[in-house]
A and B are shown apart, each in its own frame.
Chain A
Amino acid sequence: MTENYDLFEHDVLVIGAGGAGLRAVISASQAGLNVGLVCKSLLGKAHTVMAEGGVAGALGNLDKKDCWEVHFKDTMKGGQFINNWRIVEIFAKEAPERVLELEQWGAVFDRTPDGLILQRPFGGHTYRRLSHVGDRTGLEIIRTLQDKAVSCGIKTYMEVTFTRLLKDGDRVVGAIGYYRPSGKFIAIKAKAVVLATGGWGRMFKVTSNSWESTGDGVMMAYEAGAELLDMEMVQFHPTGMVWPPGVRGLLVTEGVRGDGGILRNSKGERFMFKPEYMPEMYRGQYAETEEEAHRWLEDKDNNRRPPELLPRDVVARSIYKEVLAGRGSEHGGVYLDITHRGADFIRRKLPSMYDQFYALGGVDITKQPMEVYPTIHYTMGGIRTEPESCATTVPGLYAAGEVAAGLHGANRLGGNSLSDILVFGRRAGDGAAEFAKAASHGSLDERQIEEEMSLMLAPFTCEGKENPYRLTQELQEAMQEGAMIARNEEGLSKCLQTILSLQERAKNLHVDGAREYNPGWHTARDIRYMLKTSEVIVRCALERKESRGAQWRTDYPDRDPEWGKKNLIAGKEGDQVKVSTRPMSEMPPELAKLFEEGK
């Protein structure tokens, strides 16, 4: 069989067109290079569009005391200190500039009475820090970056799915994939490649992620030899919709709690005030009475934040425990109530939440509480990168955004993902551009291309009977049961066995139909990455015998200081996943000092 493929050439190839990918193409193209952008969907539909609450950066427009140092501290604490301190430092310092730059490119954020960008409070952030546009901040950011990127004269490949990175020796020199509409293959040769492919929440049953979040980017990097970091760290957002069934898992923005939303159980208790849910690290920093929490709505300087604004891992676990104890709502969640803020306020500040519940759930959130339960939301783990350049451990390969790791540690604070994609999208574009300027094109290996095309086409001719959708569902059920919010040795081991047997069965995947826009074929492709990513997550979760952030081991319920000094590394060794640990570098005194001064 001789398959043809289209061949293109760029200095820098960016795979993924969410915020990180778009920001990377802008900087690579401003460096004067020829840039190609590949997106799996139409342009502007990537997951960034779903981000709601805001983008975190210490502009200090409302709280003058805010500064990068406090943002740095909040982020390290939220991540329970296994974040890379240098990545967090760069992030906290550069986030404000990246937000302001968006405004220069056309983004129109909500305003303060002084005409500056309005900032809202969010979980784990000491001050009002999230620049936002109602509850559709992600849309604002992706549209702004999309318009800017397109005006830079880049070449965009829409509805093209890449499946493998191509290597010349140790170096990544391009990639191969297929056009969804025609089903034909396409290879792109590049001096440097930026992966900005986002996260992998799709392997869980209850998820806020779209069909795209299958882990293909992270697995392409893994297959190419890149090191992965803390892959067990998967974020459960505390508030996903629970009813009706078709919208289960859909995100309810943290902005609801930021704007005063109250969590109650079926007994009417505001359970986040229970002392057992308050982590030692945050004791004394949150309101201790409902009265204080109520006063905070109007006077933020003299009152402490309500405990509904604890970091996401804490709130998600508390909801889980309430429901487990039989204090759940009608459909197995808890109640989130914002009605006390009044209909005008709600419709102005949370318009898309209002629409979402009204249109999809038949609930008027200005009059009734919402029902919510944790949903898979974000992946903190991912490709290990250099803080300054976003270079991975593979020459010529860069990574930014959710696919990369190191910034969020064991738990991401809300609002930090949007500034992550801006800060490190830009740096990855610059890093790749610098590499590309010094390099010449490598050569594409026809054997790798042939191999990949045969692998892709195999399900059409395979005589097996496995259905890609069924396999996906079985995987999602196994991950939901064994690797969700409360984990233990037994559940994880069982989950791993299921994954391994599904990997065997996946060899017998069969699909019907033609190659043109065939969703069954595409799903057969996805499952390869989903199964491998799941295996890595579960192996790392088994290895980390402690509870920290998103990783809650019921059989190891405490934080282990030894685990706070190292990261888990996963890499490919032959056909095996090799999991090891690597000591973290020590925080320099000037940063460590910040935690002592209480600044």
Chain B
Amino acid sequence: MDKVILKVFRGDSNGGTEQDYEVPTFEGMVVLDAIHYIQINLDSTLACRWNCKAAKCGSCSAEINGVPRLMCKTHVSDMAANGRPIVVHPLKTFPVIRDLVTDVSWNYRNSEKIKPLQLAPDAPKPLVMQQMDVDRIQEFRKCIECFLCQTVCHILRNHNVKEQFYGPRQLIKLANLDMHPYDALDRREMIRKEAGVGFCNITKCCTEVCPEHIHITDNGIIPLKERVADEYFDPIQHLIRKLSGADKKKK
């Protein structure tokens, strides 16, 4: 295969169409290389985001042959099997700004609402934490904010409940803080209400597309659901709290 056809979405918030580009290939070429080839040689106005080209920054997210992926990590040879054209579209869940660039500001607005780590007053300085106690939150901290999990999540993608559900990325952020050995905040109310953990019905699509291989659902969201269930929906806990008056003492 010495060349490949890319069908790239061109357009803006008013809509757009796919445009075909013929691009010569080389060994190890990734889709982002092909997009750069188009910008340099065929159409300098083609808009896309990218930064590190090493799958570390999470900027070049797109939907390639219908699957959310990082363009810098996706080989042309894998996508163009049997001379098939490669179809490149912007993330479907977010409004298009231009071509492959979408408005992802919703993610940043929600992220801002999550209070950062608040250390317990008795936390030692420097902190003393065993590796085995931080292994699980280090997994969540690998997130590069590519928002592939957000775009693939059908709750956001098909049902568009952005006002009620923060999506997998922010749940992972909450899981990280909630499981930090020294975090002093009770985040359960936020996890349940604002972040809407209940909306997730564990289809694990987010885990499948995560380029950092974070077990978003199993290790992050399900434990959060359990935390919330213990607090709000466990009848025995509920009874104990009623009898002891503990639910009046808000942490």
Contact = CB atoms under 8 A, between A and B. Distances in A.
B37 to A, nearest CB: 10
B64 interface: no
A108 B180 contact: yes
Given A108-B137, A133-B141, A360-B73, A519 B46 contact: yes
Interface in A327-375: 352, 355-356, 359-362
Interface of B: 12, 26-30, 33, 39-41, 44-59, 73, 97-99, 101, 103-105, 108, 111-112, 115-117, 119, 125-131, 134, 137-138, 141-145, 177, 180
Contact of B44 (A44, A212, A469): A469
17 contacts: A41-B59, A44-B57, A49-B52, A100-B125, A106-B116, A138-B56, A143-B143, A181-B97, A210-B57, A244-B29, A245-B26, A245-B28, A251-B54, A356-B54, A360-B73, A469-B39, A518-B45
B148 to A, nearest CB: 14
A244 B105 CA distance: 35
Contact of A45 (B29, B57, B125): B57
A528 B155 CA distance: 46
Contact of A356 (B50, B55, B138, B143): B55
Interface in A178-217: 181, 210-212
Contacts of B56: 49-50, 136, 138-139, 352
Given A42-B59, A246-B29, A108 B134 contact: yes
A244 B57 contact: no
B30 A246 contact: yes
A108 B138 contact: yes
B53 A250 contact: yes
Given A245-B28, A519-B44, 13 more contacts: A43-B108, A44-B57, A45-B57, A59-B126, A103-B127, A108-B137, A136-B56, A181-B103, A245-B26, A246-B30, A246-B33, A512-B44, A516-B98
A139 B12 CA distance: 31
A111 interface: yes
A184 B109 CA distance: 23
Nearest to B108: A43
Main secondary structure of the interface of B (DSSP, over half): loop
Interface of A: 41-47, 49-50, 59, 100, 103-106, 108, 110-111, 114-118, 133-134, 136, 138-140, 143, 147-148, 150-151, 158, 181, 210-212, 243-247, 250-251, 352, 355-356, 359-362, 467-470, 473, 511-514, 516-520, 523
A140 B142 CA distance: 8
A469 B36 CA distance: 10
B54 A469 contact: no
Given A44-B145, A115-B129, A133-B138, A360 B44 contact: no
B53 A517 contact: no
A237 B132 CA distance: 34
B26 A116 contact: no
Contact of A151 (B26, B52, B116): B116
A42 B101 contact: no
Nearest to B41: A469
B180 A106 contact: yes
A239 B110 CA distance: 39
A108 B141 contact: yes
Given A50-B52, A361-B28, A140 B141 contact: yes
Contacts of A150: 111-112
Nearest to B115: A151
Contacts of A245: 26-29
A520 B131 contact: no
Given A106-B177, A106-B180, A210-B51, A519 B126 contact: no
Nearest to A110: B131
A517 B16 CA distance: 15
B138 to A, nearest CB: 6
A473 B145 CA distance: 31
Nearest to B142: A136
Contacts of B55: 352, 355-356, 359-360
A50 B141 contact: no
A42 B73 CA distance: 19
Contacts of A244: 26-29
B44 A513 contact: yes
A324 B6 CA distance: 39
B111 A520 contact: no
A181 B27 contact: no
Nearest to A140: B141
B122 to A, nearest CB: 14
Contacts of A108: 129, 134, 137-138, 141, 180
B218 to A, nearest CB: 19
A47 B51 CA distance: 8
**Chain B CB within 10 A, most for which of A47, A360, A512:** A360
A583 to B, nearest CB: 40
A111 B129 contact: yes
Contacts of A247: 28, 53-54
Contacts of B145: 44
Most buried by B among A42, A133, A519: A519
Most-contacted residue by chain A among B30, B101, B141, B180 (CB, 10 A): B141
Given A42-B49, A49-B52, A519-B45, A360 B142 contact: no
A40 to B, nearest CB: 9
Nearest to B46: A519
A160 to B, nearest CB: 13
Given A50-B56, A360-B73, A117 B51 contact: no
Contacts of A136: 56, 142
